[in-house]
């Protein structure tokens, strides 16, 4: 059985049972109230009738008439009558059906001790009939609440019509409630089917934005999931596009070199050196791609240990001097109020690679004879490492994108590289719980700032 059918059946049973219980309770209360009211009315009517009989015995017709006259404006008096002889009107002039009078007279003769009807005679032998209307028929009895006024049908049909109406109302309410609950689920199911079919732009929150409950929140979470999937797939497509592009160029060059070797065997050694350079380039690209993939998809936190920060930075700067000398540059380390025993929870090899990428970029984009400054300082919560070069900087509108894989700013168009270095650096810094950002400095140059927390929160896998 489908969810809608189960919910519909459950709501239908609950609603119909609830309506039946409420109707039965209402019937019991109303019937009890009507019976009590009927009995109280009869008691008052009987008391009035007995008072009239007593007054008649004491003062004759006028005495009974005076009492009935006093009660004339009260609803109780409408069923109490006094008939003189064979008249079809009572002493107040109210006309009655002769058959009703005859039935009351016969009942009074057959039940002389009844409180509801009585026959008396005056001194001249005139007969007077005292009675209460409705004692032998159902016209004044309380009516069942399951009754439709103005419908000329037997009482059982009134009950059948009312109970059928209750049943239909229950079905309608159950359908509305079940549909209200299952409609968002059906929308969510269709959305998941579309998403599974590859329609990554699928969104469903706008289809149920008239709700404010858990199901609407689920729809919002579905949209977030779909959006994230779309970004991941687009990112993978973007990566695949750039990888194929980056691979195509060295492969094409290697193919050309092989052709040159075949055409000019005497220059084989020269061409083999160029071929080796292209192979090294491809090996570097594949290695960086694998590293980036591991950093992006790994579910296991990066292994870290206590790293002495000052010796680590000094060694990094010292290793960079050899490359700097080739470009007639100098890498200068500045320590600002950093103790020699400063430590950081870090993975030494990955952090070294991240900083080395930035320092090498600084040297590549700085002119000959320039100085690359590496500054280490701190605040209350973080260690901060700044690498400042003397290059031309990066256009302001390109600064937010330089950490994207394969993105090459205009200033790096003619520079060798894979376009993955800064993307790797950003992921490595992120794995250490830190941040990295870049900003241009005046009059010229670019500053890359690493912010590494002194205490790294443990990642939950």
CATH number at residue 273: 1.10.287
Whole-angstrom distance, CA of residue 228 vs CA of residue 376: 37
Q: Report residue 446 as tokens.
A: 């670019």
Residue 203 lies in a domain: no
What pLDDT digit, counting tens, does each position of 131-164 carry?
A: 888 755 444 444 455 555 656 766 667 677 777 8
Candidates 369, 362, 380; CA nearest to 441 is: 362
Q: Report residue 425 as tokens.
A: 């650096």
Report whether 395 contacts 353 (CB < 8 A). Answer: no
Based on the fold, state whether residues 140 and 69 are members of the same structural domain. yes
Residue 195 lies in a domain: no
Average pLDDT over residues 419-430: 83
Q: What are the b/e assignments for 240-263, b being 16+ CB within 10 Å?
A: eebbeebeeebeeebeebeebbee
Based on the fold, state whether residues 313 and 286 are members of the same structural domain. no
Give the pairing of strands 371-378 and 330-335: parallel
Based on the fold, state whether residues 293 and 309 are members of the same structural domain. no
Domain ends where: 157, 172, 188? 157
Residue 460's pLDDT is what? 43
Q: Which residue has the higher pLDDT, 385 or 15?
A: 385
Q: Which residue has the higher pLDDT, 302 or 342?
A: 342
Average pLDDT over residues 162-172: 78
Q: Give the orientation angle of helix 421-431 with respect to helix 268-297, to 10 degrees.
A: 30
Q: Which helix (H) or strand (E) holds 250?
A: helix 214-263
Residue 74 has φ and ψ, to the nearest 5°, of -95, 140
Residue 311's pLDDT is what? 93
Residue 318's pLDDT is what? 92
Whole-angstrom distance, CA of residue 431 vs CA of residue 295: 8
Residue 58 lies in a domain: yes
**How many structural domains does the chain have?**
3
Domain containing 409 — which CATH number?
3.30.565.10
Based on the fold, state whether residues 152 and 18 are members of the same structural domain. yes
Based on the fold, state whether residues 147 and 16 are members of the same structural domain. yes
Residue 271 has φ and ψ, to the nearest 5°, of -70, -35
Residue 243's pLDDT is what? 66
Residue 406 has pLDDT above 70, yes or no: no
Q: Which residue intervals of 111-154 are DSSP H helices?
A: none
Residue 178 lies in a domain: no
What pLDDT digit, counting tens, does each position of 73-131 carry?
A: 787 788 888 888 888 888 888 888 888 888 888 888 888 888 888 888 888 888 888 88
Q: Report residue 97 as tokens.
A: 């059906």
Q: Per mean pLDDT, which range of 24-38, 248-262, 303-317, 447-461 is the poorest?
A: 447-461
Based on the fold, state whether residues 291 and 372 are members of the same structural domain. no
Residue 387 has pLDDT above 80, yes or no: yes
Average pLDDT over residues 263-292: 78
Based on the fold, state whether residues 92 and 221 are members of the same structural domain. no
Whole-angstrom distance, CA of residue 341 vs CA of residue 310: 7
Q: Which helix (H) or strand (E) holds 24?
A: helix 3-59
Residue numbers of the domain that contains 64? 3-157
Residue 383's pLDDT is what? 92
Residue 200 lies in a domain: no
Based on the fold, state whether residues 312 and 221 are members of the same structural domain. no
Based on the fold, state whether residues 328 and 409 are members of the same structural domain. yes
Based on the fold, state whether residues 377 and 441 are members of the same structural domain. yes
Domain ends where: 234, 266, 297? 297
Query: Do you find a cis peptide bond into 24, omega within 30 degrees of 0?
Result: no
Average pLDDT over residues 258-268: 84
Domain ends where: 297, 313, 346? 297
Residue 294's pLDDT is what? 66
Based on the fold, state whether residues 115 and 246 are members of the same structural domain. no
Average pLDDT of the chain?
80
pLDDT grade, residue 166 (50/70/90)?
confident
Whole-angstrom distance, CA of residue 255 vs CA of residue 250: 8
Model pTM greater than 0.85?
no
Residue 173 lies in a domain: no
Residue 310's pLDDT is what? 92
Residue 149's pLDDT is what? 61
Q: Which residue has the higher pLDDT, 77 or 310?
A: 310
Residue 185 lies in a domain: no
Residue 139's pLDDT is what? 45
């Amino acid at each position: 059985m489908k969810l809608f059918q189960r919910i519909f059946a459950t709501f239908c049973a609950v609603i119909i049972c609830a309506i039946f219980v409420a109707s039965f309770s209402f019937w019991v209360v109303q019937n009890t109230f009507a019976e009590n009211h009927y009995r109280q009315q009869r008691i008052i009517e009987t008391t009035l009738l007995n008072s009239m009989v007593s007054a008649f015995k004491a003062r004759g017709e006028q005495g009974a008439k005076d009492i009935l006259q006093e009660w004339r404006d009260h609803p109780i008096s409408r069923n109490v009558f006094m008939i003189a002889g064979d008249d079809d009107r009572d002493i107040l002039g109210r006309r009655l059906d002769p058959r009703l009078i005859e039935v009351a007279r016969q009942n009074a003769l057959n039940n002389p001790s009844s409180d509801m009807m009585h026959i008396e005679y005056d001194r001249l032998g005139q007969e007077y009939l005292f009675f209460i209307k409705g004692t032998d028929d159902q016209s004044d009895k309380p009516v069942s609440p399951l009754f439709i006024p103005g419908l000329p049908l037997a009482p059982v049909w009134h009950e059948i019509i009312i109970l059928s109406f209750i049943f239909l109302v229950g079905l309608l309410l159950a359908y509305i409630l079940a549909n209200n609950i299952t409609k968002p689920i059906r929308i969510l199911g269709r959305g998941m089917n579309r998403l599974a079919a590859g329609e990554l732009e699928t969104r469903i929150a706008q289809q149920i934005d008239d709700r404010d409950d858990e199901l609407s929140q689920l729809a919002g979470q579905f949209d977030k999931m779909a959006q994230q999937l779309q970004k991941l797939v687009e990112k993978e497509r973007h990566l695949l596009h750039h990888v194929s592009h980056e691979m195509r160029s060295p492969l094409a060059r290697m193919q050309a070199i092989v052709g040159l070797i075949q055409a000019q065997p005497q220059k084989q050694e020269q061409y083999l050196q160029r071929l080796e350079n292209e192979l090294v380039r491809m090996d570097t690209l594949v290695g960086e791609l694998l590293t980036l993939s591991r950093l992006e998809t790994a579910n296991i936190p990066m292994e870290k240990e206590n790293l002495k920060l000052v010796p680590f930075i000094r060694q990094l700067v010292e290793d960079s001097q050899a490359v700097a000398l080739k470009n007639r540059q100098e890498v200068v380390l500045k320590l600002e109020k950093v103790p020699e025993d400063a430590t950081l929870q870090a993975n030494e090899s990955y952090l070294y690679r991240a900083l080395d990428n930035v320092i090498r970029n600084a040297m590549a984009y700085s002119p000959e004879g320039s100085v690359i400054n590496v500054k280490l300082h701190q605040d209350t919560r973080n260690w901060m490492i700044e690498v400042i070069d003397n290059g031309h900087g990066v256009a302001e509108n390109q600064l937010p994108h330089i950490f994207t894989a394969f993105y090459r700013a205009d200033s790096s168009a003619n520079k060798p590289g894979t376009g993955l270095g800064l993307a790797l650096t950003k992921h490595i810094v992120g794995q250490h719980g830190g941040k990295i950002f870049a900003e241009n400095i005046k009059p010229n140059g670019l500053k890359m700032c690493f912010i590494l927390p002194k205490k790294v929160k443990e990642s939950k896998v």
